[in-house]
Amino acid sequence: MIELRTPAEIEQMRPAGRFVAETLAALREDTKVGTNLLDIDRRAHDLIRRAGAESCYIDYHPSFGASPFGKVICTSINDGVLHGLPRDYVLRDGDLVSLDFAVSVDGWVADSAVSFVVGTPRDEDLRLIDTTERALAAAIDAATVGHRVGDISAAISHVARSDGYSINTDFGGHGVGRIMHGDPHIPNDGKAGRGYPLRAGLVVALEPWFLASTDQLVTDADGWTLRSADGSRGAHAEHTVAITADGPIVLTDRSWLGVS
């Protein structure tokens, strides 16, 4: 069921968005060559506990997951692009890292993701990350009253295809509110003018993700991490966005912290 939030409820969602933004900014600053993925999860867990927030991941067990997730952040590395289960892995020079983080604060959820390279970057990785970020910006621009879900999807796919990337629609954006994954589903490809009409009060997580040379995924032996079928690298960008009569509000915006 699609739910619309009042202006007062959107204001109540701001603390969750702010906490997610601050946590991702802190984790990105802390994540370097030599960082263990389990340490990222421990740091995120500590920040959640200090804030009195609740993880949306630790007990999460959808049909596509082999078991309850058991960690509080997704850490996807290189050819992993989504749902990366933190493991005992020490980051190496040039690794492409995607962190995806969702929590509930006072009963309201915010969800966001960021991709970056630790150490010496490869040009093709920076290009892939830039495409996901520009696709996210285009999606946010399209998230206005009077448009439809298809307009958001078309904006994302236009950026991806213009840069030569193909698109997987198995996983995409979604409604956010009292739960992490709600309606409507927002695929990363679609036709403008189609789909559910965007109304004031709709809050969604928009999340373009692309793989360098395929649109096919395989599930890792851990039962969670989704990897490219051909071993090529992936990048993921996500923000929680409230659609209002005055335009989109990015609840997980990190720009005020001096980071993208």
Annotated binding site for a divalent metal cation: 100, 111, 174, 207, 238
Annotated binding residues for substrate, as ranges? 83, 181
Annotated binding residues, as ranges? 83, 100, 111, 174, 181, 207, 238
Which residue type, as a one-letter code, is found at position 260? S
207, 149, 212: which is closest to 181 by C-alpha? Answer: 207
